[in-house]
Structure 1
Amino acid sequence: MKKLKNIFIIIICVSVASQIHFNVLIQGFTIAFSVVVFSIFLYNYVDLNPIKIAIITGITTSLYKSFWLYWNIMSFSKVIKMTAPEIVFYVTYGIIFYFSYYKSRKKELTKFMILVFCCDFLSNLVEISVRTKLIGINSNIIKDLLIVACVRTLITLIILIAMKYYKSFLIREEHEERYRRLILLTSAFKSEVYFMNKNAAEIEDVMKKSFSAYQIVSKNHYPDELKNLTLDISKDVHEIKKDYIRVMRGLEEITNDKIDTEPMNIRDIINILEIDTKDYIVTKNLDIELKFKVDCEFYVLKHFYLMSIIRNLIFNSIEAIDNKKKGLVKLKIEKVEDEYVFSVSDNGTGINSSNLNFIFNPGFSTKYNKETGSICRGIGLTLVRDLAQDIFKGNIFVQSIENKNTIFTVKIPITSFRR
């Protein structure tokens, strides 16, 4: 089915390209762009038999040209006489190509181009021989055929090289896109694992408290039901902790990759975040302008965590803008004395002054899903604070005026980025 589809594509393209031509040398003989198109298809569709393709293409192209010529000449015999020799051209081309290249194990562009030149010249020579019945072929005609073959071969080479560069460009773009997605995914993944590690310590604390409760109940001779209940709670928390740690260790092993050890330039980090954020804004059809500015140059070893900090703040700002028209999110990174300062600001809804003291608390959130009514889990700013403090030994500050703007500022010592 795929081969039939490819054959159909070749027939259509070559037939259309055959209309780009000019008459030279003798009456009825044309130099057409279709030969270039035919050669390019032979190079790309290596699984198709050149002889079969040449026969089908030659017949189809001749019929196509006959149809248009008939309206002008109105003589079927003259039209056939003018177009039929083209079938000879394509068949000759296909046979030469089949035995010289298709059956050859070694296939390379240089060999292909030499063969295209030979096929073009020899096929034209055979076609003219058929048209003139071997009469009238002289050195001038042979010279002209050599020039035509050379020009069409050169055009074919240029198009093939352009196609190769275009394909490599698309592949490079695809690889870059995959790399950006991998970096962002790994950043979110590692941040979640970090947060789980912190939760493990809290689970341990809950387990100790539940066991202490069991000991108190046992010593004070409370009812057996209460004693058994506290013991069951302690056991359940212990089992939850074991499962939690097992899952967490498995996730940590997944992230143990060489990419973690490679420092990343701050400009590359911001470039990835900017592309990702712009894609999100376009996808959500938001009226938000981004202004990212990096005034310093440095490398980050733990770039996944820094990316998570900045990304959380940026998307927090986008959510704060909500449906406001002409939203603006700014990111500025600069060096101030012995610190790198990261500031993310927006012209969104701002934060109520009564909530400013609680926004970094785990679970705190004023956001909810309008469709389901579910409240967001509220670990974004908690995670940002913990990463800034624990990983980079820095601090985070917030300034906000309700219904006007919000500015988050993260200050990290320069020494935290030195290798």
Structure 2
Amino acid sequence: MTETKKIRLKKYIVSVIIIALFGELYFFPFKGSFRFSAGVLAFSLILLYLDLSEIYLTLFTSLTVLLLRGFINSLSIDGSIVDILKLDLPGALYYMLFGVLAHLSALTEKKDKSIQCISILFFIDIISNLFESLLRGNLNINLFHYIILIGTARSIISYTLFILLRRQEILIRQGEHQKRYAQLNSIISNIQAEMFYLNKSMKDIENVMSKSYKLYEENKENLGIREDALDIAREVHEIKKDYYRVIKGFESFLEDFDENDFMDLKDISLIIENNINRYIEQSNKKIDFRFVINNNIPINEYYLLFTILNNLIINGIDASGEKGEILVIQKTGRENMIFLVEDKAKGIDEDIIPYIFNPGFTTKYDENTGEASTGIGLSHVKNIVDKLKGTITINSKKGQGTQFKISIPINSLRR
């Protein structure tokens, strides 16, 4: 049996058990043997909500209800097994007729049409109840009125529960989608940031190759240097080709995401908040993070903005220790969009500030290994801000905290 069939069989078993157990929650509207069961609510809801065969579900349910009620009645009623089963047979046949009518009326195909679906459930319930009452021989005008009333109530309640369940499922899917979208945006923004260094390395490689070839041209009389310079130029050229393939691969990958023309600043802030709060939780820190948006405008270069803000916020979290506060404030000037990223951490020494944007410079070390951080986070930020023709400044006071101010032309963010 395949895994899919096992899952489907499990659905049938669980569904039948639920219906049979709910079927024992019943009441008598007046004196007599006719009873109204909550199992019909469960049966109707499962027919609408789960993608199961009406016929199979009906057969399994009818048999299970008959056996379960027979077993329960055998504990309190004296008589043969055949007599007890005859007593419970009309109830089992009720489910049989209900399922057959649901199949013939194509109930599940009309579940998106509320009035039509409720009407079908109503008539199926009435017909099945009339059939059961005729088998029991207790049909009368009062019972008929109860059948109409209960049929109306059960059909409306069943469909209402179905709608509530489906809406809950949609909300869960939307939540999962948003989570995956946030993770994807984080990945893409990191790739975008790495592209800066790959492109920068390409230029450095071209410079080294040019210098090697120039050295080759200038040393025609010195065969040793001439050959070494030519070998270096060849090897660098091979490295350049490999880099080129990597860059083009990333660019073709990112082209699919560039088709999304823009993202609202409010949506950007929500994604960043989700990522940062998850990072704080995983770090077991107690840090209050807030993102204040004053102007919700569409942004085209949103991946670059993700990289800038994520780097600065995470730096603030790392500097805050176990407790702290991070605040990001966005506001708009006449031509520029301004972001203030503030923390209440230990601050930065004044003599270090001029060097913090230099590639490789870091003050962060792993407490366990003693290894230094790569020191490229803030240089990433500076490169991106420069590319967007913006500015980034820092104001820090020892023991009080740090504020980064990023100012970027709105036209640069909106292309």
Identify whether the pair has TM-score above 0.5, normalized to the shorter chain.
yes
Please give the secondary structure, in 2, of the residue aligned with 1:357. helix
One-letter amino acid of the counterpart of residue 64, structure 1: L
- Compared CA separation, residues 137 and 263, structure 1 to 2 (3 A): closer
1:83 corresponds to which residue?
88
Correspondence list, 1:6-25, <5 A: 6-25=11-30
Contact kept in structure 2, 1:347 and 1:405, CA below 8 Å: yes
1:306 corresponds to which residue?
305
- Compared CA separation, residues 212 and 350, structure 1 to 2 (3 A): farther
Please give the secondary structure, in 2, of the residue aligned with 1:2. helix
Correspondence list, 1:4-153, <5 A: 4-50=9-55, 52-69=56-73, 73=76, 75-76=78-79, 80=85, 82-101=87-106, 107-109=109-111, 110=113, 112-132=117-137, 136-153=138-155
Please report how far the alpha carbon of residue 418 of structure 1 lies from its aligned counterpart in structure 2 after TM superposition. 5.9
- Compared CA separation, residues 76 and 286, structure 1 to 2 (3 A): farther
1:347-389 Cα offsets, whole Å, 9 max, x none, are 3343344432222112222334455655433221111111112
1:348 corresponds to which residue?
345
Please give the secondary structure, in 2, of the residue aligned with 1:411. strand
One-letter amino acid of the counterpart of residue 197, structure 2: F
Counterpart pick for 2:206 among 185, 197, 204: 204
In structure 2, the gaps of 5 or more residues are 1-5
Contact kept in structure 1, 2:266 and 2:293, CA below 8 Å: yes
Runs of 4+ in 1 over 6 A off after TM superposition: none
The CA distance in 2 between the partners of 1:327 and 1:187, in whole Å, is 26
Please report how far the alpha carbon of residue 145 of structure 1 lies from its aligned counterpart in structure 2 after TM superposition. 1.4
Asked whether 1:263 is paired with 2:262, we answer yes
The CA distance in 2 between the partners of 1:152 and 1:296, in whole Å, is 50
Contact kept in structure 2, 1:17 and 1:33, CA below 8 Å: yes
The CA distance in 2 between the partners of 1:297 and 1:97, in whole Å, is 50
TM-score by length of 2: 0.87
The CA distance in 1 between the partners of 2:211 and 2:274, in whole Å, is 47
1:282 corresponds to which residue?
281
Counterpart pick for 2:182 among 180, 183, 193: 180
Asked whether 1:320 is paired with 2:319, we answer yes
The CA distance in 1 between the partners of 2:105 and 2:330, in whole Å, is 62
One-letter amino acid of the counterpart of residue 134, structure 2: S
TM-score by length of 1: 0.86
Aligned residues: 405
Asked whether 1:245 is paired with 2:244, we answer yes
- Compared CA separation, residues 62 and 348, structure 1 to 2 (3 A): same
- What value does the CA root-mean-square deviation take over the aligned residues? 2.8
Please report how far the alpha carbon of residue 192 of structure 1 lies from its aligned counterpart in structure 2 after TM superposition. 1.8
1:266-310 Cα offsets, whole Å, 9 max, x none, are 222222211211122122222111122223343322222122111
Please report how far the alpha carbon of residue 313 of structure 1 lies from its aligned counterpart in structure 2 after TM superposition. 0.7
Higher mean displacement: 61-70 or 375-384: 61-70
1:401 corresponds to which residue?
397
Asked whether 1:357 is paired with 2:360, we answer no
Please report how far the alpha carbon of residue 248 of structure 1 lies from its aligned counterpart in structure 2 after TM superposition. 0.7
Contact kept in structure 2, 1:55 and 1:87, CA below 8 Å: no
Contact kept in structure 2, 1:3 and 1:48, CA below 8 Å: no
1:109-137 Cα offsets, whole Å, 9 max, x none, are 245544332322222122222222xxx52
Please give the secondary structure, in 2, of the residue aligned with 1:19. coil
1:387 corresponds to which residue?
384
The CA distance in 2 between the partners of 1:306 and 1:46, in whole Å, is 44
The CA distance in 2 between the partners of 1:174 and 1:214, in whole Å, is 59
Please report how far the alpha carbon of residue 408 of structure 1 lies from its aligned counterpart in structure 2 after TM superposition. 1.6
The CA distance in 2 between the partners of 1:116 and 1:145, in whole Å, is 13
Contact kept in structure 2, 1:260 and 1:302, CA below 8 Å: no
Please report how far the alpha carbon of residue 399 of structure 1 lies from its aligned counterpart in structure 2 after TM superposition. 2.6
Contact kept in structure 2, 1:260 and 1:301, CA below 8 Å: no
Correspondence list, 1:227-242, <5 A: 227-242=226-241
The CA distance in 2 between the partners of 1:35 and 1:288, in whole Å, is 51
